Amino acid sequence: MHGARDQSHRLTVPCSLAHHSYTALFDLTRLALEPLQLPEPVESLSLACRAFSPVHQQSAALFQSATADLAQAEKLLLDRLAIRIGEQCLHGIRLADAHLPEEAWQRTHDDRHGSDNPAPAQRPCWLLPQPVALQQRATGLDWNGHLQLLNGPERIESNWWGNAVKRDYFIARHESGPLCWIFREYGSRQWFMHGLFG
Give residue-wise pLDDT tens across range 59-110. 656 555 666 677 778 888 888 888 888 888 888 777 777 777 877 777 787 6
In a domain, 121, yes or no: no
> Global pTM?
0.57
- Reported as a pLDDT band with limits 50, 70 and 90, residue 117 is low
- Please count the CA atoms within 13 angstroms of the CA of 185 that sit on its side-chain side: 13
Of 37, 71, 89, which residue is a domain's last? 89
In a domain, 39, yes or no: yes
At residue 82's C-alpha, the angle toward residues 104 and 25, to 5°, is: 130
Least confident of 29-33, 79-83, 112-116: 112-116
In a domain, 10, yes or no: yes
Q: How far is CA 146 from CA 34, 71, 143, 152, in A?
A: 50, 37, 6, 17
In a domain, 97, yes or no: no
- Whether residues 69 and 138 share a domain: the answer is no
In a domain, 131, yes or no: yes
Query: Taking 60 as the threshold, does the pLDDT of residue 115 lie above it?
Result: no
- Whether residues 85 and 143 share a domain: the answer is no
Give the chain's domain count. 2
Query: Taking 90 as the threshold, does the pLDDT of residue 173 lie above it?
Result: yes
- Whether residues 76 and 137 share a domain: the answer is no
Amino acid 136 reads Q
- Whether residues 33 and 81 share a domain: the answer is yes
In a domain, 119, yes or no: no
pLDDT the model gives residue 109:
72
Of 37, 72, 89, which residue is a domain's last? 89
- Reported as a pLDDT band with limits 50, 70 and 90, residue 113 is very low
Query: Taking 70 as the threshold, does the pLDDT of residue 46 lie above it?
Result: yes
Query: Taking 70 as the threshold, does the pLDDT of residue 188 lie above it?
Result: yes
The span from the CA of 45 to the CA of 58, in Å, is: 35
In a domain, 55, yes or no: no
- Whether residues 74 and 130 share a domain: the answer is no
Share of the chain above pLDDT 70, in %: 87
- Whether residues 137 and 184 share a domain: the answer is yes
Domain that holds residue 24: 2-48+62-89
- Whether residues 18 and 76 share a domain: the answer is yes
- Whether residues 141 and 81 share a domain: the answer is no
- Whether residues 17 and 71 share a domain: the answer is yes
- Reported as a pLDDT band with limits 50, 70 and 90, residue 114 is very low
Q: For the residues 32-55, what does the mean pLDDT come to?
A: 81
- Whether residues 7 and 84 share a domain: the answer is yes
pLDDT the model gives residue 65:
62
- Whether residues 134 and 187 share a domain: the answer is yes
Give residue-wise pLDDT tens across range 126-163. 889 899 999 999 889 999 999 999 998 999 888 777 77
In a domain, 14, yes or no: yes
Provide the mean pLDDT of the chain.
81
